[in-house]
Amino acid sequence: METLIHIAFLLSAVCLTSSRNVSLSIAFTSVTTDNLTNSIRFYTEILGGMLDPEFMFSYSGNQHYNMMFQKEILQARESMVAPAVLGVPDISDNGTYEVVGAFIFFDNGILQLLQFVEKECPEKGYVITDRRTSPAVVPNGHIDFWVKPTLDLNVYVHALETRSRQLGLNKVEANRPVTVHSEAERERVAIKNYTMPLNATSQTMQWAYFKGPSGEQLELNRMAGDVLLDVGKEYCKRKAVSTAFLDKSHPDNMWKRRAGVTGQNYGIFQHGTRTRSLFGSVDFYTEILGGSLGDNGDAGFFGDGDQNMLFQKEMLQAEKWHVDYESLGIANISLSGNMSLALRFTYFDNYVVETLQYDKGRNYSFPLFNPTFNLSTPALINNMRLTFLLPETVDMNSYLRDMEQRSAVEGFPQVKGNRAIDVNSFGQQVPLEDYSVAFTEGPLQGLRYSYLKGPSGEQVSFVQFTGPSSERLKNALLRYNAVSTAFPETNPWNREGYDEYCSQFPPARHQHF
């Protein structure tokens, strides 16, 4: 008996470590929108992304219903309420809703836009929102676009807002780092004061926070000098890909040129996720998912400019509604406040996962400031979901099972996935094939996906492109002249595309995590 137990333990250990060496890229970040058409226009005509008609899709059915909403369905049963009460549109076989969406391609990443609409009347969308839109609310996310260093980010933001208004996308508004007391006053701020430098004396980094066409949280980053060098070192260390560091110039494609000034970007720099525990989340994204922790995080981040840039829209809303800031999830990181922001960068094969924590003190102080959304549904307008790409050589269902088991062993028992079939409890063990859902027809034929909740309740998923979907993905990346580790043809490392740039970091260049 002891021998049998020992053998079982060894087999379990092999199982739990079998997927540790998988190097992951980020397949895409998903945004739930209230108007798919408007969102497509913004991300293509303004930010210069490419819509691939072959990746426009719609789907529904029991498997998708379970995979997307199982945690919320089980919570509804326990509370003896209808799933709709918890923000679940019925996309089951007999339901009235379906998912429609599109993929938008950028230099080094993809944006997936999703909308839930009525099957019989697609112009009627399923709309559920939270009055708290603050980036400090757990597990709110944001997407950061990487603006070229040849531009002044103040000019870029002005062009973005101007063009958005011309297209009728009136929700697209950027915060200002200066104090204002009304929307009219925000509009009157001088263009030179539209963005924040990294600090008062450095112009090697500028950044800005703004809302997208559905009110989603977006960020812009312009990096130069030592800041850009530090980021480049991390990319070289991991053998990650970005058009920013290619040895030979990377000419803008037709989609970026059509967008004009606001098409002058390198694509996505990071997916930000608001975490309950900074160090816990960092451990999950590094130890469990294999990301590489960078040296360029920050702690004790506070100041009046930062307060305005991060929360200005929400502060104006609070004043309009005559409610206190904290009721809307607004942290007070101003000089007169007592809170601060800490963050860390975890690098994957194409861009960064930024984890953020707000402290009721300065520099990792306790207690933490952790306001939360009332709903966890991925149908929540502006919900963001981080999706990791699994290579075709990996057995996806085994990876998912092992990843969940490893998460539980290493202190993340809350990391559990939805299943493709109905279950009695969240994370219930099921046959391997039910850990994910595969599309067998339509534009997404060959694509397999799964949904789970991350350590802070954030939406995380995994996807694998096989068969027709894999060929479509490769063709779209090549058409846009994007860089990706997904295929040999799209990976500049296979053609010595970073050799000259990365030679300035000789010890790190040959490391691959």
Are 333 and 358 a contacting pair, CB within 8 Å?
Answer: yes
Statement: residue 171 has pLDDT above 60: yes
Q: Cβ atoms within 10 A of the Cβ of 182, count?
A: 11
In sequence order, the 6+-apart residues with CB closer than 8 A to the CB of 227 are: 198, 202, 204, 205, 296
Task: Tell me how far apart the alpha carbons of residues 329 and 373 are, in angstroms, rounded to a whole number.
Answer: 9
The answer to whether 417 touches 435, Cβ cutoff 8 Å, is yes
Exposed (0-12), middle (13-18) or buried (19+): which is 366, by Cβ within 10 Å?
Answer: exposed
Rounded to an integer, the average pLDDT of 362-370 is: 87
105/293 Cα distance (integer angstroms): 26
Looking at residue 487, its pLDDT comes to 97
pLDDT at 22: 79
Give mean pLDDT, residues 63-72: 98
**Residue for token pair 């490419």:** 50
CA distance 465 to 202: 43
Query: For 310-352, what is each residue's pLDDT tens digit?
Result: 999 999 999 999 999 999 999 999 999 999 999 999 999 999 9
**CA distances, 302 to each of 272, 298, 299, 310, 337 (Å):** 18, 11, 9, 10, 9
Q: 364: buried, middle or exposed (CB in 10 Å: 19+, 13-18, 0-12)?
A: middle
On whether the CB atoms of residues 137 and 314 are closer than 8 A, the answer is no
> Which two three-digit tokens encode residue 100?
């429609």
Position 23 scores a pLDDT of 75
Higher pLDDT, 399 or 201: 399
pLDDT in the model for residue 512: 39
In terms of pTM, does the model score above 0.85?
yes
Residue 2 has pLDDT above 50, yes or no: no
Query: What pLDDT was estimated at residue 19?
Result: 52
Separation of alpha carbons 101 and 80, rounded Å: 31
Place of tokens 């924590």: 357
pLDDT for res 445 = 97
Cα 333 to Cα 160: distance, rounded to the nearest angstrom: 27
pLDDT given for residue 202 in this prediction: 55
Mention every residue, 6+ apart, whose C-beta is less than 8 A from residue 90: 65, 83, 84, 96, 97
Tell me phi and psi for residue 193, to 5 degrees. -110, 25
- Write the secondary structure of 237-306 as one string of H (helix), E (strand) and C (coil): HHCCCCHHHCCCCCCCCHHHHHHHHHHCEEEEEEEEEECCCHHHHHHHHHHHCCCEECCCCEEEECCHHH
Task: Report, as an integer, the average pLDDT of 115-121.
Answer: 97
* Residue 298: pLDDT over 90: no
Give the distance, in angstroms, between the CA of residue 101 and the centroid of all CA atoms in the same chain.
16
What's the chain's length in residues?
A: 513
User: What is the distance in angstroms between the CA of the first residue and the CA of the last residue of the chain?
Assistant: 39
- The first and second tokens of residue 428, run together, are 């219930």
Please give the full DSSP string across 353-385, using - where no structure is assigned.
EEEEEEESSSSS-SSB---B-S---TTSTT-EE
The model's pLDDT over 268-293, given as tens digits with 9 standing for 90+, comes to: 999 999 999 999 999 999 999 999 99
Average of per-residue pLDDT across 199-214: 82
Output the pLDDT for position 83.
98
For the chain, give the mean pLDDT: 92
**Residue 3 pLDDT level (bands cut at 50, 70, 90):** very low
Query: In 10 A of CB 302, how many CB atoms?
Result: 21
Residue 425 has pLDDT above 50, yes or no: yes
Tell me the one-letter amino acid at 138: V
C-alpha of 224 from chain center = 23
Torsions phi, psi for 487 (to 5 deg): -140, 145
Q: What is the pLDDT of residues 33-67, one digit of tens each?
A: 999 999 999 999 999 999 999 999 999 999 999 99
Residue 513 pLDDT > 80: no
pLDDT of 510 reads 41
Lowest mean pLDDT among 10-19, 232-241, 447-456: 10-19
Q: Among 103, 100, 111, which Cα is nearest to 60's?
A: 100
CA–CA dist 509, 513 (Å, integer)? 11
Tell me the mean pLDDT in the region 255-262: 98
Q: Which residue from 354, 389, 385 is spatially nearest to 477, judged by alpha carbons? A: 389
**pLDDT computed for residue 14 by the predictor:** 38
CA separation for the pair 140, 459 (Å, rounded) = 10
- β-pair partners for 202: 199
Give the mean model confidence (pLDDT) for residues 442-469.
Answer: 97
Q: Which residue has the tokens 């506070």?
A: 302
Q: What are phi and psi of 484, to 5 degrees?
A: -160, 145
Q: φ and ψ at 501, to 5 degrees?
A: -60, -45
Q: Are 58 and 151 in contact (CB under 8 A)?
A: no
What is the predicted pLDDT for the residue at 7? Answer: 34
The whole-angstrom separation of Cα 275 and Cα 271 is 13
From the CA atom positions of the chain, what is the Rg in Å? 22
Please, which pLDDT band fits residue 507 given cuts at 50, 70 and 90? low
How is 193-239 classified by DSSP, letter by letter? GSSEEEETTEEEEEEEEEE-TTS-EEEEEEE-HHHHHHHHHHHHHHT
